[in-house]
Structure 1
């Protein structure tokens, strides 16, 4: 079974047309699921077609994930570019308050982080427990990401819901060297 036919609703052939040659009988939910899958799988060209046909770039899953959050979390740079070019909200937050930049910071994908920052991503947008992208980079030992976020203006002294800042989180994680980088950067500010 091809990838295309696996995503085609029952009763349609791989062209997406019904067995009788009519327009397919897609439900709105099926179309939305296909669109979200295209974002998750990084199918930039297919995303462009959906968006060109009027699909909302900030459609949400039941957990609040937008296509941009899905594409960036899964490392799809071209898909993210397409979504941003079609007006996707770079600062949209999922149900837990995470943005695309937070997911990228956690994963350590510098190219995607640069794209998001160039597109206006808020560097200090905190999630529901007060954690910022810088805090996620620190918690997962992503020193290059932390440096990028600091250069973009991230505040290493901002505190999360537990009252900890990025410097303290780095120390708590055993990252004395990263804590020192954060301290040095904040001294320059």
Structure 2
């Protein structure tokens, strides 16, 4: 008998990938009860999926304001861009989630980062309330 891993079970790498996927799914679904304890145990707050989306990006894009607040409190980078150069605030401007925009702005998110920026996105999609929060008026 040897000390190698069971070939029928998941490898350590597969287990880590599965855990990361579950964390990203929890962020997308707004499942703070599943996600936050993992972060509190040391999982990286700025973990990224294959497209560069962080838990904060996914939570913000899906409108989970309280989870966004909790992720920020645990060190999530409010300006972390995905692989397409999009920021969480730009995603929120696209979706029109004013409460999430407020949380991100309170946490110091930069409305002029990214391509397109949150300011540009809010203007293009005529998100007057978000533009007002950014200190801009619709063009």
Calculate the TM-score normalised by the size of structure 1. Answer: 0.64
Q: Give the 3-state SS of the residue equivalent to 1:27 in structure 2.
A: helix
Alignment of 1:129-168 (within 5 A): 131-150=116-135
Aligned to 1:126: 114
Aligned to 1:162: none
Asked whether the 8 Å contact 2:92–2:101 carries over to 1, the reply is yes
Asked whether the 8 Å contact 1:60–1:66 carries over to 2, the reply is yes
Aligned to 2:102: 114
* Alpha-carbon RMSD: 1.6
- Structure 1 segments unaligned to the other structure (5+ residues): 1-10, 12-25, 157-177, 180-189
Aligned to 2:75: 87
Give distance in 2, aligned partners of 1:142 and 1:122: 17
Q: Following TM superposition, by how much is the alpha carbon of 1:75 offset from its aligned partner in structure 2, in angstroms?
A: 0.4
Aligned to 2:5: none
Q: Following TM superposition, by how much is the alpha carbon of 1:54 offset from its aligned partner in structure 2, in angstroms?
A: 1.1
Q: Which runs of 4+ in 1 moved over 4 A?
A: none
Asked whether the 8 Å contact 2:63–2:97 carries over to 1, the reply is yes
Q: Give the 3-state SS of the residue equivalent to 2:39 in structure 1.
A: helix
Asked whether the 8 Å contact 1:36–1:67 carries over to 2, the reply is yes
Aligned to 1:173: none
Larger radius of gyration: 1
Asked whether the 8 Å contact 1:72–1:100 carries over to 2, the reply is yes
- Structure 2 segments unaligned to the other structure (5+ residues): 1-8
Superposed CA deviations along residues 15-66 of structure 1, whole A, max 9, x for unmatched, are xxxxxxxxxxx71011111111100000112211110121100000000000
Give distance in 2, aligned partners of 1:118 and 1:78: 13
Calculate the TM-score normalised by the size of structure 2. Answer: 0.86
